[in-house]
Amino acid sequence: MDPERRTSTARNEKTSRMALIPNEGLPTNNAHENAGTFAGKWQTRWKSLERLMAEYNMESRGIQRVEPDECHNLSQLGYSQIAILWISINLAANNITLGMLGPAVFELGFLDSCLCAVLGMLVGCLAVAYIATFGPRSGNRTMILSRYITGWWPSKLVVVLNIIVFLGYSLIDCVVAGQILSAVSSNNMSVVVGIIIVALITWVITTFGYEVFHYYERYAWLPQLIVFSILAGVAGPNFNKSAASLVSGETLAANRLSFFGLTLAAAITYSGGAADLFVYYPEHTARWKIFAMTMLGLTTSFTFAFILGIGLACGMSTNPAWETSYGVSQGALIVEGFKPLGGFGSFCGVIVALGLVQNLIVPTYASGIDAQILGRWAAMIPRVVWNTISVVIYTVCALAGRAHLAEIFTNFLALMGYWVSIWIAIVLEEHLIFRRKTGFNWQIWDDRKKLPLGVAALAAFIVGWVGAILCMAQVWYIGPIAGLVGDYGADMGNYVGFAWAAVIYPPIRVWELKRFGR
């Protein structure tokens, strides 16, 4: 962006930010005057901070809609940038460690693990690509879009769940990065130090906002692609590609379902922030190109990372050194794969660890935005403050949970994928059935009197969760339906939650429209 355009955009952002503070929670009656004084002080402080942010080219915009005249120019690079952005975000060590869980936890063979991982993430990526297309045409963040689907008040529940997902993923990224940096240093550096280093780098980049992290992601993917390719070349000959599954019968079917659902959850949870990444793209941006480029970027990066992880885990059966390393941590196994390269392998391990910053950027940035949707008081707090709070929260949680990464993966990811699957079912039906002809009025993003009440969405959400709970299979709880399959249960929460919500939503939504007209 040229300097004149950047200055104009910053000025527009400042103007729209002050004009569009939500009216939710405004004091009334006798308290009004005092509240006005309090709000006035906050506005004065906000203006000062906003001027400082604009001075340093930091994104000051929060949840406000990006108007068409504020969008960036779309060049030919714009479409390729979409695929590059997703590759950069997703080609990360956390997905290697997720792939390891197929053989290591679910006892699946190489072929079984690869098929379940690739097909599972493919289904999840379809939802992400679909939500991403709403960014340019609406100019609204993903969780603002949710207001049009789930209503003003129920959407706050979705926002809270989305923030929890983002913080949880960030926790996992920090732990993996800390493990790798610790293993590279032969444990001379503790996992704690590694976690803090990666969190600080992420905080700096996301504090500057949209334009800076897009620029960073544009180039950060290349070192990751190089070191991942080196890992495949060095460790690949030791992959036990003929490894068979260690379970059979119903237990094999159950474990396949569970690992499929886990990789689906890993992909689909990007949906909660997918539109955020493209709100500055112009309205005329081709939807199918957004969809196609998102699918291309996500599926290629997921496939490469998952197969690397599966190969490393299957190789443990024939390579005792790999098995010993996995006993230390998943990150240590990645470092062990580079070991034949000596000092250069250690350097590659450092690059892999720092590459997790790319994966941390999106959840950190989006959680800072989403927090402003929780209320008027939240919208008055600048994005950079929420951004900082998010980093502090997941860093502290990562420090506390650094010794339990596999448990966090298997318990947290699948559990958090349930609500996203339910939410996607509701979004699809509202868009394709009830808004197919009328479309959305993107100008009313902050007018709760014109947005849906969300009765149908809340009912479908609750029913979907009931289905997910009955069909979930976690270490700490196995639903009565899930427990009918195999020795350890089959995690079917994503599929059943989606289906039950999809069945219940249309009839209640028809009633809601007739009764309330919105």
Q: Is the pLDDT of residue 26 over 70?
A: no
Q: Is the pLDDT of residue 35 over 80?
A: no
Q: What is the rounded CA–CA span in Å between residue 273 and residue 420?
A: 11
Q: Is the dihedral of CA 315, 319, 324, 325 positive or negative?
A: negative
Q: Is the pLDDT of residue 377 over 90?
A: no
Question: Considering the chain, what percentage of its residues have pLDDT values greater than 90?
Answer: 53
Q: What is the rounded CA–CA span in Å between residue 105 and residue 90?
A: 22
pLDDT of residue 198: 92
pLDDT of residue 223: 93
What secondary structure letter does DSSP report for 45? H
Higher pLDDT, 138 or 417: 138
Task: Tell me the per-residue pLDDT of 257-311, one tens digit each, with 9 for 90 and over.
Answer: 999 999 999 999 999 999 988 988 888 889 999 999 999 999 999 999 999 999 9
Domains of the chain (ranges, CATH numbers): 70-404 (1.20.1740.10)
Confidence of residue 414 (pLDDT cuts 50, 70, 90): low
pLDDT of residue 179: 86
pLDDT of residue 12: 43
pTM of the model: 0.86
Please give the mean pLDDT across all residues of the chain.
85
Q: Averaging pLDDT over each range in 22-26, 40-44, 82-86, 415-419, which range is the top one? A: 82-86
Confidence of residue 400 (pLDDT cuts 50, 70, 90): confident
Q: Is the pLDDT of residue 33 over 80?
A: no
Give the pLDDT mean for 365-377: 87
pLDDT of residue 55: 57
Q: Is the pLDDT of residue 162 over 60?
A: yes
pLDDT of residue 339: 92
Look at residues 125, 96, 87 and name the one whose alpha carbon lies nearest to residue 217.
87
Kindly report the length of the chain.
Answer: 518
Q: To 5 degrees, how large is the angle CA 156–CA 159–CA 162?
A: 155
Q: What is the rounded CA–CA span in Å between residue 192 and residue 178?
A: 6
Q: Is the pLDDT of residue 413 over 50?
A: yes
pLDDT of residue 498: 95
Task: Tell me the per-residue pLDDT of 334-354, one tens digit each, with 9 for 90 and over.
Answer: 999 999 999 999 999 999 999
Bridge partner residues of 473 (DSSP): 478
Q: What is the rounded CA–CA span in Å between residue 64 and residue 20?
A: 7
* 473 CB-near residues (< 8 Å, 6+ apart): 254, 258, 479, 482, 483, 488, 489, 490, 491, 492, 493
Lowest-pLDDT range, 13-22, 88-97, 241-250, 507-516?
Answer: 13-22
Count the neighbouring beta carbons within 10 Å of the beta carbon of residue 201.
16
pLDDT of residue 514: 93
pLDDT of residue 2: 39
Report CA Rg, the chain: 23
Residue 233's H or E segment, with its range, is: helix 210-235
Lowest-pLDDT range, 29-33, 222-226, 340-344, 392-396?
Answer: 29-33
Give the pLDDT mean for 361-386: 87
Q: Is the pLDDT of residue 59 over 80?
A: no
Confidence of residue 117 (pLDDT cuts 50, 70, 90): very high
pLDDT of residue 5: 38
**In Å, what is the CA distance from 104 to each residue of 83, 142, 183, 404, 503?**
31, 35, 20, 15, 36
pLDDT of residue 271: 94
Task: Tell me the per-residue pLDDT of 440-492, one tens digit each, with 9 for 90 and over.
Answer: 999 999 888 899 999 999 999 999 999 999 998 877 788 899 999 888 888 89
Give the pLDDT mean for 80-109: 92
pLDDT of residue 34: 43
Q: What is the rounded CA–CA span in Å between residue 100 and residue 114?
A: 10
Q: To 5 degrees, how large is the angle CA 122–CA 125–CA 130?
A: 135
pLDDT of residue 3: 36
Confidence of residue 45 (pLDDT cuts 50, 70, 90): low
pLDDT of residue 379: 82
Lowest-pLDDT range, 72-76, 297-301, 366-370, 435-439?
Answer: 72-76
Task: Give the helix, strand, coil percentages of the chain, each rounded to 5.
Answer: 75, 0, 25
pLDDT of residue 79: 86
Are 372 and 379 a contacting pair, CB within 8 Å? yes
